[in-house]
Amino acid sequence: MLHFILGGARSGKSSYAEELAMEFPSVLYLATSQIYDEEMRHRVHLHQKRRPATWTTLEKYSGFIAEDFQHHDVILIDCLTLMITGLFFEEKVDDFLPEDYQKLEETITKEVHDLLDLVKEKTVFLVANELGLGIVPEQPMSRAFRDIAGRLNQQVARRADKVSFMVAGLPMEVK
């Protein structure tokens, strides 16, 4: 069962996913963020403090193998958007042409679908940011990132058994 949980910044999506996962005895928390500065380190620390000590944490955003998930029936992935960020910036994207972004999108899309294939027999809570509700970014790289994330969110939503959209801490059932 794949439950896709979308929302904007500070919408409560991570807390909601954690609340749902608390109902299960054994949870693997897949933390996809990378720490680049002290502010991000603080955010990660707050997330870590909220999680039960009994949960297993895997800090990784790519290169998943079946053994990563074999000992858990419930996986909480927080979050798809940060996974995409890690994959996006593995390449030097400053001087990319539109066709370069297309190749990058194909690579990222494959990685995301490979992950979902590895956990398809599990209960999965997958958190992601809804980036398409804001202004159109000024920079080509930012537009490319927004577009890749938006198209992947659509694909994951179609694949998901359940989709919730978080608004001001309240889940709205979409699917």
The mean pLDDT value of the chain amounts to: 91
Residue 152 in contact with residue 112, Cβ under 8 Å?
yes
**Mean pLDDT value across residues 80-101:** 81
- pLDDT at residue 69, as a whole number: 95
**Mean pLDDT value across residues 162-173:** 98
For the chain, the distance separating the N- and C-terminal CA atoms, rounded to the nearest angstrom, is 13
Helices (H) and strands (E) in the chain, counts: 5, 7
Residues 77-88 have pLDDT tens digits of: 999 999 999 999
- pLDDT at residue 7, as a whole number: 97
Query: Helices 98-118 and 140-159 sit at what angle, rounded to 10 degrees?
Result: 30
Neighbours of 75 (CB within 10 A): 23
pLDDT band per the 50, 70, 90 thresholds, residue 1:
very high
- pLDDT at residue 39, as a whole number: 86
CA distance 94 to 143: 12
Q: What is the CA radius of gyration of the chain?
A: 16
CA distance 13 to 66: 26
**Mean pLDDT value across residues 90-102:** 73
pLDDT of 162 above 90: yes
Residues 115-145 have pLDDT tens digits of: 999 999 999 999 999 998 888 989 888 899 9
Q: Which amino acid is at 91?
A: E
Domains of the chain: 2-173 (3.40.50.300)
CA distance 160 to 10: 23
| Alpha helix (H) residue ranges in 22-64 | 38-50
List, by residue number, the catalytic residues: 47
- pLDDT at residue 87, as a whole number: 93
pLDDT of 17 above 70: yes
pLDDT of 50 above 90: no
